[in-house]
Structure 1
Amino acid sequence: MGLAISVALLYDQARNDMEGFEHHQRAFARLSQALADKGITWHEPEIMDPPCTRRFSGGFSYEYLTYLRRAFALSRTGSAVTPATTANEEQYKRDQQVVQGQTSIFYSHLLLYAGVDGYYIPVDFQEPAIRAGHSVGSSQRLLAELASFASAIGISLDEEGRLSEEMAARLASLPPTDPYEPEKFAWYQLHQACLESIASGHAVVFH
């Protein structure tokens, strides 16, 4: 079972899934109101004609997200970051304790997300939150967190923290023999989603 990730989700649903479209319209309205109650202003942009060109659709398995969160937590605590697929059972359990410890501090926008029906919105706010029954993080803060440990899993960024076209091409066609393939794949999917979210004003939706 995997996670689907979308930016500008309503465009696709308006054409292919009217029930889902209406569900997410209501969910976005509740989310906007809950955020407003906490002083955060954001609304999912309306559908336009011609349609928004900054859209994204992707996804990965829950296991890949778990591996990515492990890499972040290990990097954050100054521990050695190794490929999750090469860790023995005992080491992996210890690493998961590190993840749990970091998650309990409730500071990370990457560690916040634990299941379906989560959002990242393109507003820069410090702490992730639970609003209207959903986990809500900042696309800007998630992007910064992804950049903070990219080098630990073999992803090179330029001096301004941006991904080169060459590096992006490598991430788009990762060989299965790459020991960090799960971490890199999930990282790249989230990185693309954050960029499109920030550029377009749309939320990153997990569904």
Structure 2
Amino acid sequence: MACDLWLVPLVDVLCHSPDNPFSEEIAAYDSALAEAGLPTVPVFSYMPGLSGDVAPVAGFDYDALHFLRRAYLLRLCGLEVTPVDELGGDYEQLLEMFETTAQQSHLVWHYDHAGAYVPVDFPHPLANDELLAGGGPLGSSHGLLRDLELVAPALGIDPANPPAAPAPPAGPTSLEERAGAAPLDDGPFARERHVWLGLHAAATRSLGQGSMIVFS
């Protein structure tokens, strides 16, 4: 089952348009951010080179995303990060034993198939009844990047100089499809690295371009 990541430029030509397809989601995010005493979702003025076009930035399988989350939890909790062929009971045990820790992670505490990361810095994912009934906890692109940088060394990645990210999907991937792009290496952490590179590309571009990352 495939997961697509999209970049939504937070520019006025899109956000202030009456046809903005993300208006309800952004309003919910603004409400959650305001409740937490944080700035609302930023909207940037149009500049040459920017547009309101939504574009894919990464794609990977859901199970590979959970492999990366497992590695992150092991690393964060000071446990050895070992490769596995499939997710078993140890991952479920990690989530149960370190539930509070997991809920403070922008990488881990996020729906697989929905939700967003916004370019606003806050320490932990935000959640309220409205968010949990919709796309799930709201993540910070800054926080996601910090989580990725923490787990990178365990996967053999230098976060200051990572390999090139895989090419994004050419278009939307249905829920039943597998992600089209295969991992670029055959090492023991190939799946984790593949997802890491896609998420890292999304987070860095989100911050550099002022975009929202949307899962679908």
Q: Would you call these one fold, judging by a TM-score over 0.5?
A: yes
> What TM-score, normalized by structure 2, do the two folds share?
0.74
Q: Secondary structure at the match of 1:168?
A: coil
Does the 8 Å CA contact 2:104/2:124 hold for their aligned counterparts? yes
- Inter-partner Cα distance in structure 1 for 2:59 and 2:42: 21
Paired amino acid for 2:26? F
Determine the structure 2 residue equivalent to 1:118: 115
Counterpart for residue 130 of structure 1: 127
Please, which runs of 5 or more residues in structure 1 have no aligned partner?
A: 15-20
Contact 2:148 2:196 in 1 (8 A): yes
RMSD: 2.9
Structure 1 residue 23 corresponds to structure 2 residue 21: yes
Following superposition, the deviation at residue 47 of structure 1 comes to 8.0
Q: Residue 18 of structure 1 corresponds to which residue in structure 2?
A: none
TM-score by length of 1: 0.77
2:3 counterpart residue number: 3
Check 1:194–1:56 CA distance in 2 against 1; reply closer, same or farther (3 A cut).
farther
- 1:153 maps to 155
Distance in 2 between residues matched to 1:107 and 1:175, nearest whole Å: 30
SS at match of 1:109: coil
Aligned-partner residue type, residue 117 of structure 2: Y
The answer on 1:140 being equivalent to 2:142 is yes
The 1:144–1:93 alpha-carbon spacing in structure 2 relative to 1, beyond 3 Å, is: same
Deviation at 1:119, TM superposition (A): 1.3
Gap regions ≥5 residues in structure 2:
168-182
1:52 aligns with 2:50: yes
Greater Cα offset, 142-151 or 32-41: 32-41
> For the Cα contact (< 8 Å) 1:128–1:137, is it kept in 2?
yes
Deviation at 1:118, TM superposition (A): 1.2
Tell me if structure 1 keeps the 8 A contact 2:65–2:192. yes
After TM superposition, give the deviation of residue 95 of structure 1 in Å. 3.5
Q: Secondary structure at the match of 2:50?
A: coil
Aligned length: 189
Q: Which amino acid aligns with 2:126?
A: A
